[in-house]
Structure 1
Amino acid sequence: MDTSGLAALDERIADCRACPRLVAWREETARAKRPAFADQAYWGRPVPGFGPPDARLLIVGLAPAAHGANRTGRMFTGDRSGDVLYEALYDLGLASQPTAVHADDGLELYGVRITAPVHCAPPANKPTPGERDACRPWLVRELELLRPTLRAAVALGAFGWQAALPAFGQAGWTTPRPRPAFAHGARVLLGDLDLFGCFHPSQRNTFTGRLTPAMLRDVLRTAARTAGLPTPAPG
């Protein structure tokens, strides 16, 4: 078996049990379930990245949602954050459909891969620094495998930004010192790759208007074009 490719990496990630608190939480959530999904079998395992192995653009989130990706087994699938993200990607011609309901719904990404610095659903959606650091080798290896084609990345939120920068450094990109602060619309050059900051499409951010669909599309459009992916003009 090829032990160096993304498919093999995804299999290894899905079997990880390194963080006891996260293992207990994701599995208990999968047992208890949300009443609306009581008839569904939850994934209840670490959620690997999603998207082609030759992606030119990487989107880095936070961690799987307890009743979203932890239920469906695919990043940003089955929750409202994913609804916002995939609709934006579809509008830009980077996804085959605007919705992500379950892992077998036929959704494809074009030139884009989605991952997270923490692959297990955390309590209160807040991984600890130790859990983030324990999960970092997975992200570093994913970046190493994507490096031949990867030209841009978008970090969704401060957690994703703070976790991504050292991982890019460990994977061989040049990271600036001092480490740049997160901001929506921030752009940092890491050698041959541009890292962009964007508010996370969480329910809190989208319901309050801190992040609008137009704001999300603008960052994704700029990042995609930087990566060499064709996108429609704003309209």
Structure 2
Amino acid sequence: MAEPPPSPDDSDFPARIAPGCRDPGELDAQVARCRACPRLVAWREEVARTKRAAFQDWEYWGRPVPGFGPPDAALAVVGLAPAAHGGNRTGRMFTGDASGDILFAALHAVGLASRPDSTHRGDGLKLRGVRVTAPVHCAPPQNKPTPAERDSCRPWLASELELLSPTLRAVVVLGAFGWQAVLPVLSDAGWQLPRPRPVFAHGAQVTLPGREERPELHLLGCYHPSQRNTFTGRLTLPMLIDVLRHAAEISGLDQ
């Protein structure tokens, strides 16, 4: 008897489903079905039910948030996880929250976004050569996924970067959490990482040698555009623009 297909509630759903996805569109559809992490499922759905007062008229997405951007992106931007009242509300990465306000303003300034803001899925925003994603696709309580939740979600990120690999030239990682999540994904995919493994820092850049028929890959670090970082001046819009402009140049997107 054939083994039954995995349920979205199974803890190994990402690990069993993600590697078989043939393109980012199929991957995005499967990501949105995932219920592998009970704590995250309960939280995202509770937030979607109770809502924030300012968004009482919204029908919250309340599901895992897929990546956003073209399937042949040369640049990937990797964050942390959707915000409870941002991506968890709108259904699009970095959309509807303060972090997204500065990120999309910077992408627009560099010529990689069609508009400087991202408010909802139907706002007409289009990205040029860039895909925005995260190592955890569900909004976590206190914006803090557990290591187990990060590891459970890892196959989605691994498959997304693998599907992008024919055109991918650079990855900008926003924050230490994303950096720590991306390194093992790249290592498992066969990219040769330096020893010791590179440490996250704003402005860090690591060039990974090409493998087989794939060109070299550039990994860049940038502080996460969280309100804490932007309010304290740790990350400013010009700083983020500088990182993204450099990433666009080495990805061939500055034409």
If the TM-score is normalised by the length of the shorter chain, which range does it land in?
Answer: over 0.9
1:226 correspondence with 2:244: no
1:10 correspondence with 2:28: yes
Q: Which runs of 5+ in 2 are unaligned?
A: 1-19, 210-215
Query: Residues 47-99 of structure 1: CA distance to partner in whole angstroms, max 9, x if unpaired?
Result: 00000000000000000000000000000000010000000000110000001
1:95 correspondence with 2:113: yes
- Residue 30 of structure 1 corresponds to 48
Contact 1:157 1:199 in 2 (8 A): yes
- 1:61-210 matches, within 5 Å, as 61-191=79-209, 192-210=216-234
- 1:24-63 matches, within 5 Å, as 24-63=42-81
Contact 1:46 1:120 in 2 (8 A): yes
Q: Offset of 1:175 from its aligned partner?
A: 1.7
* Bigger Rg, which one: 2
SS of the aligned residue for 2:171 comes to: strand
1:217 correspondence with 2:235: no
Q: List 4+ stretches of structure 1 deviating above 4 A.
A: none
AA paired with 2:247? A
Query: Residues 117-157 of structure 1: CA distance to partner in whole angstroms, max 9, x if unpaired?
Result: 00000000000001000000000000110000000010000
In the alignment, the residues of structure 1 paired with residue 193 and residue 32 of structure 2 have an alpha-carbon distance, to the nearest angstrom, of 29
Contact 2:170 2:250 in 1 (8 A): yes
In the alignment, the residues of structure 2 paired with residue 50 and residue 93 of structure 1 have an alpha-carbon distance, to the nearest angstrom, of 17
Contact 2:21 2:159 in 1 (8 A): no
AA paired with 2:240? L
Q: How many residue pairs align between the two structures?
A: 230
Q: What percentage of aligned pairs have identical amino acids?
A: 70
In the alignment, the residues of structure 2 paired with residue 151 and residue 220 of structure 1 have an alpha-carbon distance, to the nearest angstrom, of 13
Contact 1:143 1:171 in 2 (8 A): no
In the alignment, the residues of structure 2 paired with residue 172 and residue 110 of structure 1 have an alpha-carbon distance, to the nearest angstrom, of 27
SS of the aligned residue for 2:206 comes to: strand
Q: CA distance change for structure 1 residues 175 and 76 in 2, over 3 Å: closer, same or farther?
A: same
How well do the aligned residues superpose, as a CA RMSD in angstroms?
1.0
